Amino acid sequence: MNTSADEIIKLESRLLAPGVRLSAAELDTLIADDFLEHGSSGRAFGKGHVLARLPGEQGTTFIPSVFCVRFLASDVALVTYRLEMRIANELDAVFSLRSSVWRCNEVGWQMIFHQGTRTSSFAADD
């Protein structure tokens, strides 16, 4: 397996793109059947919940930054980054630290785990 960190970041970024988030078919390809999310709300979600929820969400802009990719094995990658969310009709942004685990299988690279941890903001030196 010869996947670059940039390729993994592109996959992660696709899941933040409005068009992909609206497509259950694209989400199904990017998210593994055994997917688990620990959301910034403190709730846990499986793939079925994500496929039912995301296509109905609209009006949120995601601004990721400071990506870091660590290959845990040739077919497993950990992605960490900062995320600023701008929700339509709300003045204040929501900030969180994000981490995802991606695994390569017969389908290709799929996300198997994701966690969001809210933070008040990002300091200039973080």
d(CA 102, CA 31): 9
Is there a domain that residue 100 lies in? yes
**Residue 15 has what pLDDT?**
94
Q: Is the pLDDT of residue 83 over 80?
A: yes
**CATH at residue 89:** 3.10.450.50
**Number of domains composing the chain:** 1
Instruction: Report the length, in residues, of the chain.
Output: 126
8-state DSSP, 17: S
**105, part of any domain:** yes
Question: Can you give the residue range of the structural domain that contains 35?
Answer: 5-118
Q: Is 123 a domain residue?
A: no
pLDDT digits (tens, 9 = 90+) for 71-81: 999 999 999 99
Would 63 be classed as within a structural domain? yes
The alpha carbon of 113 is separated from its chain's Cα centroid by a whole number of angstroms, namely 9
- The reply to whether 76 falls in a domain is yes
Q: Has residue 124 been placed in a domain? A: no
pTM (predicted TM-score): 0.89
Per-residue pLDDT tens digits for 32-77: 999 999 987 788 999 999 999 887 777 889 999 999 999 999 999 9
126 belongs to a structural domain: no
- Is the pLDDT confidence value at 126 over 80? no
Q: From residue 2, give the alpha-carbon distance in Å to each of 8, 47, 72.
A: 11, 27, 13
